[in-house]
Amino acid sequence: MKKLILFSAMFLFSLGVFAQGNELLGYVPANVDGFASINMKELSSHPKIKEMLDKNEDKEFNKFKEDLKASGIDIYNTCTTGVVFMNVNTKKAGAIFKTSVNEETFNKVIQSRIQDGSMTKSVCEGKNVYTLAKGTDKTSIVYLKPDIVGVSDLPEDAVKLGSLSPADSVTSNTKLMDLASKADKDSPMWAVFVTNIPPPKGKQDPMQQMIPFDNIQGGIVNLKFTGDAKDTANLNIRLNCKEKTKAQILTIQLQAMVLAIIPNIAQGNQQLSEQFMKAMKFTNEENDIVISAEITPALQEELKKFAEANAANAMGGQMPGAQPPMKKKKTPPKAASPDEPGVPPPPPPKAQ
pLDDT in tens, 223-264: 998 888 888 889 999 999 999 999 999 999 999 998 888 888
List the single range of 28-42, 104-118, 120-134 with lowest mean pLDDT.
104-118
31 pLDDT exceeds 90?
yes
| Judgement on whether residues 252 and 214 belong to the same structural domain of the protein | yes
Residue 146's pLDDT is what?
87
Confidence of residue 7 (pLDDT cuts 50, 70, 90): very low
DSSP letter assigned to residue 193: E
Which is more confident, 96 or 15? 96
Residue 4's pLDDT is what?
46
| Judgement on whether residues 124 and 2 belong to the same structural domain of the protein | yes
In whole angstroms, what is the distance from residue 185 CA to residue 195 CA?
A: 22
Beta strands in the chain (DSSP E): 34-38, 82-87, 92-98, 119-124, 127-134, 137-145, 148-152, 189-194, 216-226, 232-241, 280-285, 288-295
316 pLDDT exceeds 70?
no
In a domain, 171, yes or no: no
CB 125 within 8 A of CB 159: yes
Average pLDDT, the chain: 80
| Judgement on whether residues 28 and 67 belong to the same structural domain of the protein | yes
**How many independent structural domains does the chain possess?**
2
Range of the domain at 148: 1-165
Question: Partners of 131 in the beta sheet?
Answer: 120, 140
| CA proximity to 290, closest of 221, 215, 197 | 221
Residue 195's pLDDT is what?
92
Residue 168's pLDDT is what?
95
In whole angstroms, what is the distance from residue 122 CA to residue 235 CA?
A: 41
144 pLDDT exceeds 60?
yes
User: What would the pLDDT profile of 290-309 be if each residue is shown by its tens digit?
Assistant: 999 999 888 888 887 777 77
When pLDDT is averaged across residues 37-51 and rounded to a whole number, the result is 77
CB 247 within 8 A of CB 284: yes
In a domain, 308, yes or no: yes
Which is more confident, 202 or 84? 84
| Judgement on whether residues 89 and 156 belong to the same structural domain of the protein | yes
In a domain, 178, yes or no: no
| Judgement on whether residues 50 and 102 belong to the same structural domain of the protein | yes
User: What would the pLDDT profile of 13-25 be if each residue is shown by its tens digit?
Assistant: 444 333 344 688 9
Q: What angle do CA 4, 158, 147 make, to 5 degrees?
A: 95
Torsion, Cα 44 48 52 54, to 10 degrees, reads 70
| Judgement on whether residues 70 and 149 belong to the same structural domain of the protein | yes
List the single range of 73-82, 227-236, 244-253, 336-345 with lowest mean pLDDT.
336-345
| Judgement on whether residues 6 and 149 belong to the same structural domain of the protein | yes
| Judgement on whether residues 248 and 139 belong to the same structural domain of the protein | no
| CA proximity to 273, closest of 260, 282, 290, 283 | 260
| Judgement on whether residues 8 and 157 belong to the same structural domain of the protein | yes
Q: What share of the chain is helix, strand, coil (3-state, %, to 5)?
A: 40, 25, 35
339 pLDDT exceeds 80?
no
What percent of the chain has a predicted confidence (pLDDT) above 70?
76
Residue 336's pLDDT is what?
53
Which is more confident, 155 or 21? 155
List the single range of 49-63, 108-122, 156-170 with lowest mean pLDDT.
49-63
| Judgement on whether residues 199 and 139 belong to the same structural domain of the protein | no
In a domain, 87, yes or no: yes
| Amino acid in position 109 | V
340 pLDDT exceeds 90?
no
Residue 201's pLDDT is what?
64
Residue 87's pLDDT is what?
92
| Judgement on whether residues 203 and 139 belong to the same structural domain of the protein | no
Question: Partners of 194 in the beta sheet?
Answer: 218
What percent of the chain has a predicted confidence (pLDDT) above 90?
37
| Residue where one domain finishes, among candidates 165, 181, 206 | 165
- Order of strands, sheet of 216-226, starting from the edge strand that comes earlier in the sequence: 119-124, 127-134, 137-145, 148-152, 92-98, 82-87, 34-38, 189-194, 216-226, 232-241, 288-295, 280-285
| CA proximity to 213, closest of 254, 184, 244, 185 | 254
| Judgement on whether residues 107 and 248 belong to the same structural domain of the protein | no
CB 50 within 8 A of CB 113: no
When pLDDT is averaged across residues 318-337 and rounded to a whole number, the result is 52
In whole angstroms, what is the distance from residue 191 CA to residue 173 CA?
A: 15
List the single range of 58-67, 137-146, 230-239, 342-351 with lowest mean pLDDT.
342-351
Confidence of residue 287 (pLDDT cuts 50, 70, 90): very high
Which is more confident, 347 or 215? 215
